[in-house]
Structure 1
């Protein structure tokens, strides 16, 4: 059940302790993909998983602004600090737990959120009345994950499959021409760049022309398979904290 589309009385009838919380960002995704790409993709994975899962699970409204200051030179990008993001996620999980949905998988669509989510999920689990784990969809798609850039083949393919009307097909070649081959400027295993504008002309990393709609369909299937498996593990896990040793 997607809470954004349900009434409170509908939600009250759901007998489950499982919830999915999509999180992403509102940030540049080149000239061809929407600013909301990351949260749109996270929500698509969450909704498809809720349908595929053999049991009830609620899908919370997405968190649309994340840790994205690295894209600040591109108009339309919004961001919050890691502290604000962690606090918002933690309090949202607490409100889900108040209704009994206290086993929460945070479905993430933005690389910049990863570190903050792992930290806050640990804090929730150790100190709050809930259990939380983060899941980043593009890390759960098998060999495809090696092609993850930014508004490149994976995200373009995914959008073409789930929200094709939002992709500016007439700008795909322009996106490719202004893209960089990789993320950052690396010397001695250290990334010297902090902002994406330091190494990509138009915000794209990777070749979006390699992101077909068929590939997007496969990506969604793989992400959903992984998340269904994770949900089953979360549902059955003993989440009591170990005693002091």
Structure 2
């Protein structure tokens, strides 16, 4: 069930086991991929996993996605939007609390943006520990759940571009992919003795890309979606049983 497409009476009458709250960002993804990449990925993984969970008798309500996240590290690239970690945590927490108010007391936040990870860990811990809120929540980041491919995650590189080629190929500016690779950084940040000296992505990447966007295709994107969705189903079942 997608909450944005359901009526209030349908939600009232549904027997929902767990909610998915997709969260992403609106931020640069190089010259070849859209600003909304992270939110699109999170929502698609949530939708796909909801269908698979239903087949396994776990009923899921998918909340509308959060499109603006903790993305100040990309602020030098036009179009990027961001909020503070405090604002983001509050928004996510209060959304979970509103779900709990209607009896949906198990929530998995489905994340598509690395910059959100720390804030989401804190937000879900706080809401789960709050004795005044009858809810339990965890955060799931899709690219951390794709097995041996997880090590290829950069930014607008192999994994994200492959997933986009599967989900929304018309949004990938294929004529710019080679240039995106040529202006990319090999890794995230500038590291000395385990310390990243860079706070913003423009300090180490000419065009905002990290990794090689030419290295993957739609077949890899399909595999990534499959792996992430299956992992999310397992997490959802565990959260329901907790």
Same fold (TM over 0.5): yes
**Does 1:167 find its partner at 2:169?**
no
Which residue does 1:194 correspond to in 2? 199
Superposition deviation, residue 65 in structure 1: 0.4
SS at 1:210 equivalent: coil
Q: Deviations over 1:67-86 (max 9, x none)?
A: 00000000000000000000
**Does 1:121 find its partner at 2:124?**
yes
Superposition deviation, residue 10 in structure 1: 2.2
Which residue does 1:203 correspond to in 2? 208
The unaligned stretches of length 5 or more in structure 1 are: 238-245
**Does 1:219 find its partner at 2:224?**
yes
Instruction: Compute the TM-score of the two structures, normalised by the length of structure 1.
Output: 0.95
Superposition deviation, residue 4 in structure 1: 1.4
* Structure 1 residues 1-245: aligned runs within 5 Å: 1-53=1-53, 54=56, 55-127=58-130, 128-237=133-242
Farther off after superposition, 12-21 or 89-98: 12-21
Runs of 4+ in 1 over 4 A off after TM superposition: none
Q: Deviations over 1:108-129 (max 9, x none)?
A: 0000000010011000000022
Mapped partners of 2:100, 2:235: distance in 1 = 19
Q: Deviations over 1:184-206 (max 9, x none)?
A: 00011100000000000000000
Mapped partners of 1:52, 1:141: distance in 2 = 17
Instruction: Compute the TM-score of the two structures, normalised by the length of structure 2.
Output: 0.96
Mapped partners of 2:61, 2:169: distance in 1 = 26
Mapped partners of 2:7, 2:34: distance in 1 = 29
SS at 2:31 equivalent: coil
Asked if the contact 1:17–1:100 (Cα under 8 Å) also holds between the matched residues in 2, the reply is no
SS at 1:22 equivalent: strand
The unaligned stretches of length 5 or more in structure 2 are: none
